[in-house]
Structure 1
């Protein structure tokens, strides 16, 4: 069957965007990469991909860049996503992004429900295709489908250095802007089956994965649309970020005692300067569902740890390849007709088995921990 998506534009060729472009090409798509800084990109087979310099503040050039493409994947900072989504809507092309920002996704949902302009087809809008929101929600929802009744869904993700140093035990391998937002913005959760907003960096708990002690606390944005989907069906649902012990205490000191809560840009710059990126990172995924399965109380755990991976002769950080592979897998599913070709796609509506069956999704077979516990 012919694909509904053949040519894809990737906006932003940074830590994740470059690999998104490469994996798309490896999956058989024609790709054009757009970035403020021109660069050379090679596929795993050594084929050079088309790239173009682009100033996203140049509205005419920006919209012209969408001519001839079937889909866009936005890998830019979250505050630029709405502009890309609106342009995709106007051009009638499919839209994918990696954002955890709630207002951004709300705007994308509005666009997905709007009547397309005359002569335009209604495209697919699939935001939040990264790790959290994204893959962790797909995992949690796929586990939940096995239960007759669901009491709780607990989702956790941590992108960390393998060899932490200092009191923070951290390295900024992801967007500093995004990290600060998820630490400070209120978190949507389900409590007693109802949606509530609660402060970030609260409800801390101890977590052990493969003998490694971690701590987890609520952070914003990681659930995407799951609270709306499961309201009234699940008593408790939340998303927490995994860190090494003591991290959240130090962040509380920084934001509250040092009164830096309202100086987000400054804090982001401080974090990158003090805890710059590292190549030896690790990504932890931890999902747990409790309820009634086959007539009995049951808890299903899904625990994975992902290390840097060689792709196309280059070693990619764990956070880069897990995020890129998740996003590209969703593009593949839409292109191949395994997800809706129009309207809004929730991550929790994607079957984990389908995602793992894509060209990019098969990369998730590389794991240091494969653990499915039953209690």
Structure 2
């Protein structure tokens, strides 16, 4: 089968970006990487680029079919606008709502290119799972989506390790969250509506956080009574975060808080990603609740062990690139994550990683 895109640029070769590039190579794409720092230890061509240099970014995209931005969220718009100017298909991992709004705007102005933001875990895979579950219901009452990237062996009151961007975590804790309540879109405070969750015998807590739903509230407004996204943590975590942000008056000092938290809870290699999706409604004429629960551990890919947060995020993104390239998704206009079928994603080279990992058994 001939592909609609073959050469892919990856911007940002950090914890996830390097693996995105490796998985693209594994899926038979030609790959070129770009980062702010030189790299001479990679299995693909790479170059240094300053994303603030608009001319350099556009030059980098001149000879590629697509770009995957694995940069911090505040740098994505620059890459998206360069993709627009060069008619390059665009993918990213962002959970930032203003960034996605800009990408949607660009997709409407240049509908001949595909613009597919939010290809990570949340938004991304969790929305694909939730939407795929919902397709089997005649009427949908609730869609509940939860993800947690956690240490397997937590310590301290926070019970956490910053394997993901501290900047992104702080933003999702502080920015208001879009939800559906009584079928209508609403904005509610983050770190509220806390609940207990058990996965494989492990007790967790979940609270609302921002950005995890992507465009799902717009898609399901008027069709679903209740829809929300919550982040999973070990019990007591959110109480400590409220103390940090509210009792110590640090809500307006996000960069400082991020540095403090990473210093206190640095990354670990023994992580786990929990994914919990549930849909309630009417199925075959009867009330029904369907759950999809997974716990993803670090795995070895091409002789190297990757953290759970890295490989699940990267595999989700590359699976979507594969679907666009192979005709499983539109190669023009905006593509929402909830438009992607889970079975199609699992059928890709990278998606097969999810199909063979993550089953949870009671402890």
TM range (shorter): over 0.9
Q: How does 1:64-213 map to 2 (within 5 A)?
A: 64-115=59-110, 122-213=112-203
| Structure 2 residue 22 is the aligned partner of structure 1 residue 27 | no
Contact 1:132 1:221 in 2 (8 A): yes
CA distance in 2, matches of 1:320, 1:243: 18
Contact 2:52 2:78 in 1 (8 A): no
Match of 1:222 among 187, 194, 212: 212
State the shift of 1:38 in Å: 1.4
Q: How does 1:261-280 map to 2 (within 5 A)?
A: 261-280=251-270
| Structure 2 residue 190 is the aligned partner of structure 1 residue 232 | no
State the shift of 1:296 in Å: 0.5
| Structure 2 residue 58 is the aligned partner of structure 1 residue 63 | yes
Moved more, 32-41 or 212-221: 32-41
State the shift of 1:365 in Å: 2.6
Contact 1:161 1:170 in 2 (8 A): yes
1:1-42 per-residue CA deviation (whole Å, 9 max, x = no partner) reads 310110000000000000000000000000000001111354
CA distance in 2, matches of 1:286, 1:115: 36
Change in CA separation of 1:161 and 1:64 when aligned onto 2, cut-off 3 Å: same
SS in 1 for 2:255: helix
Moved more, 149-158 or 49-58: 49-58
CA distance in 2, matches of 1:182, 1:238: 14
Change in CA separation of 1:115 and 1:360 when aligned onto 2, cut-off 3 Å: closer
Contact 1:217 1:242 in 2 (8 A): yes
TM-score by length of 2: 0.98
1:274-324 per-residue CA deviation (whole Å, 9 max, x = no partner) reads 100000000000000000000000000000000001011110000000000
Contact 1:40 1:49 in 2 (8 A): no
**What is the Cα-based RMSD across aligned positions, in Å?**
1.1
- Equivalence for 2:37: 37
Contact 1:126 1:346 in 2 (8 A): yes
What is the number of residues matched between the two proteins? Answer: 362
Change in CA separation of 1:168 and 1:50 when aligned onto 2, cut-off 3 Å: same
Match of 2:350 among 343, 360, 366: 360
State the shift of 1:59 in Å: 2.3
Contact 1:22 1:41 in 2 (8 A): no
TM-score by length of 1: 0.95
Q: How does 1:329-340 map to 2 (within 5 A)?
A: 329-340=319-330
SS in 2 for 1:369: coil
State the shift of 1:115 in Å: 4.1
SS in 2 for 1:299: strand
CA distance in 2, matches of 1:354, 1:254: 42
State the shift of 1:370 in Å: 4.4
Change in CA separation of 1:340 and 1:167 when aligned onto 2, cut-off 3 Å: same
Match of 2:47 among 46, 49, 52: 52
Contact 1:306 1:366 in 2 (8 A): no
SS in 1 for 2:331: coil
1:145-178 per-residue CA deviation (whole Å, 9 max, x = no partner) reads 0000000000000000000000000000001000
Show structure 1 runs of 4+ deviating over 3 A: none
CA distance in 1, matches of 2:22, 2:41: 7
CA distance in 1, matches of 2:287, 2:218: 25
Contact 1:74 1:98 in 2 (8 A): yes
CA distance in 2, matches of 1:115, 1:202: 39
| Structure 2 residue 297 is the aligned partner of structure 1 residue 307 | yes
